[in-house]
Amino acid sequence: MMIMRTLATALSTLLVMACCGFDLMAAESAPPKIYVPQWKKGDTWTVECDMPDALVAKRPPWLDNRKPNSSRHPRWVFTVDKLADMGRFRLISVQVRRDDPKARSSADLVFSGRLDAAGLLASLFLYKAVYRYPAGVEVNSIRKDYNRQSNGPFPVINDETDAPTDFPCLNVVDSPADASGDGIWKEYQATDLVDKDLRSRSVRQTTIFATAKMQFGEQIKVPVDRSLNQDVYMKLLHASGNYTVRLVFNPAYPWPVYGEGPKGRYWLVK
């Protein structure tokens, strides 16, 4: 009789949970995971930026009866042009160009990542970069060796140019072991060369899962199945506190589907 009562109670509980819309599979859902994009030669994607006018960002237009200029919406095209495997690591060359042929800004990026036993990327980070930007009639360039600055993988906040190349340090081993927590954070140390002087700095990378709860849906322009709840939100905070970058990744796409920082916002559009 006791066994029958227990079974009846369990069945009743399950029926109530089902009627209330409770996901019976939620308790057995897979733990959240950091996805590493598997880029191939020839892959390409386009990012659109919203670069606010300085007047809008720093001084309200109603002061001095001035009107703000409209925001710029440049588009940047990313193209994977070369891959090379070196032992357990893969180097990936990515060209970043404006879709406007008259624009003189560009970037050449080199990413690196560790390969797993199946030959797939288990990690990915920005290794080196060359940024080019117009300065009058000239075009200046800035070379960055991020690996040398940190002696290892490091999340990058691009505070050099307007190119939307902020990128975290992706690593599947940083995925939580279970689904009990909302996210994780990690501190990375590096050095910067400032006025011929090496200065230490750090970037805190915070990773939060289940970002359908975080109201980023209206900011994403590419089709994403929000019901799957697979987005990964990453926040990069510079030690100085002057730079904070927020990125949203989705495993269906090769680049953050949304990002925002001091320079403006940007979206993956195709």
How far apart, in whole angstroms, are the C-alpha atoms of residue 28 and residue 111?
35
- How would you classify the pairing of strands 170-171 and 232-238? unpaired
Does residue 175 belong to any structural domain of this protein?
yes
pLDDT band at 62 (very low <50, low <70, confident <90, very high): very low
For the cut 70, the answer to whether the pLDDT of residue 14 exceeds it is no
181, 140 Cβ separation under 8 angstroms: no
Does residue 4 belong to any structural domain of this protein?
no
Which strand (E) or helix (H) includes residue 97? Answer: strand 89-98
Mean per-residue pLDDT over the chain, rounded: 76
Does residue 24 belong to any structural domain of this protein?
no
| Residues paired with 119 in a beta bridge | none
38, 60 Cβ separation under 8 angstroms: no
Which strand (E) or helix (H) includes residue 194? Answer: strand 183-194
Tens of pLDDT along 198-248? 666 788 888 887 654 455 556 788 887 666 566 777 888 876 666 788 888
Count of domains observed in the chain: 1
Q: Which of 211, 143, 158, 138 is nearest to 47 (CA)?
A: 158
pLDDT at 251: 86
How far apart, in whole angstroms, are the C-alpha atoms of residue 77 and residue 97?
5
Does residue 3 belong to any structural domain of this protein?
no
Question: Above pLDDT 70, what percent of the chain?
Answer: 66
Does residue 211 belong to any structural domain of this protein?
yes
Tens of pLDDT along 80-129? 999 999 999 999 999 999 988 888 889 999 999 999 999 999 999 999 99
Quote the tokens at residue 168: 């975290």
Does residue 139 belong to any structural domain of this protein?
yes
Does residue 147 belong to any structural domain of this protein?
yes
Q: What are the distances in angstroms from CA 148 to CA 16, 106, 128, 267?
A: 58, 22, 9, 30
- How would you classify the pairing of strands 138-145 and 106-114? unpaired
Tens of pLDDT along 40-60? 999 999 999 987 654 444 444
pTM of structure: 0.77
How far apart, in whole angstroms, are the C-alpha atoms of residue 101 and residue 263?
22
- Mean pLDDT check: name the lowest of 17-21, 114-118, 185-189, 261-265: 17-21
DSSP 68: P
Domain that residue 55 falls in: 29-268
For the cut 80, the answer to whether the pLDDT of residue 7 exceeds it is no
Does residue 8 belong to any structural domain of this protein?
no
Burial of 27 (0-12, 13-18, 19+ CB in 10 A): exposed
Phi–psi pair at 35, nearest 5 degrees: -95, 135
